[in-house]
Amino acid sequence: MIKAILFDLDGTLLDTLGDIEANVNGMLREKGYPEITREQVMAYVGDGAKKLVERALPSGADDLDECYTYFRTRFEKSDNARTKLFGGEREVLERLKGKGLKLGEVTNKPHPATLRLIEKILPEVFFDFAYGDDVSFPCKPDPTLARYAALTLRVAPAECMFVGDGETDVKTALAAGMRGVACLWGYRTRDQLLSAGATVFARDFAELEKITEKLL
């Protein structure tokens, strides 16, 4: 029986790729490095902001920490004008909440930016738990934060569904002892998620709702 659903953020709850691309390339321009493509941005996200910056920098760049600090500062001030919801998402989240499920969010995105995004884009959907990277916990796929979310929500890990679009989310669900659902509306392909160990897939929020209803 499922009592809580934990969501990844980028590519799962919100389509943030446009804003990530704009801020990464803004950082690269500021530091005198060549910009990267949207396809590269999509491939580089998922393992936290510092790993994203590291992957975006040219090989041999020796100012990773400086670039990472600049990127975080820039991103936290972003107006997020390019970020949007996925189709049918708001209504599904409201119905899931109405069924008594606790909703949480666990991401490798910097914590301040995480909270600001949720408050701006999904203010009417109350999340019982929302946490990003503030160096208090290891980044996913380490399961520590996911397990802490379950503890905070007063549910067992086995009573949690973990929904995400990345390999790190698949591995987090497995390591945390949660029911994993790999969403196909995000930034990874079915084959990539299958290779990471995913066994349950949702093509959209409507299908996620149907999967959830069978586990209530």
72 and 176 assigned to the same domain = no
Is residue 78's pLDDT more than 90?
A: no
- At 198, the pLDDT band (50, 70, 90 cuts) reads very high
CATH code: domain of residue 28: 1.10.150
33 and 96 assigned to the same domain = no
- At 95, the pLDDT band (50, 70, 90 cuts) reads very high
44 and 98 assigned to the same domain = no
The per-residue pLDDT of the chain, averaged, comes to 95
pTM over 0.75: yes
Domain count for the chain, please give it. Answer: 2
31 and 96 assigned to the same domain = no
**Structure-token pair, residue 43:** 């491939």
Out of 76, 97, 114, pick the residue that ends a domain. 76
CATH code: domain of residue 193: 3.40.50.1000
166 and 90 assigned to the same domain = yes
88 and 182 assigned to the same domain = yes
pLDDT tens for each residue of 22-35: 999 999 999 999 99
50 and 114 assigned to the same domain = no
**What domain range includes position 206?**
4-15+83-213
- Mean pLDDT of all residues in 1-13: 97
58 and 136 assigned to the same domain = no
201 and 124 assigned to the same domain = yes
Is residue 148's pLDDT more than 90?
A: yes
Q: What percent of the chain has pLDDT over 90?
A: 87
56 and 95 assigned to the same domain = no
121: which residues sit within 8 A by CB, 6+ positions away?
14, 80, 83, 84, 85
94 and 162 assigned to the same domain = yes
Residues with catalytic annotation?
8
Is residue 125's pLDDT more than 80?
A: no
Question: What pLDDT is attached to residue 20?
Answer: 94
- The letter for the amino acid at 104 is G
Is residue 157's pLDDT more than 90?
A: yes
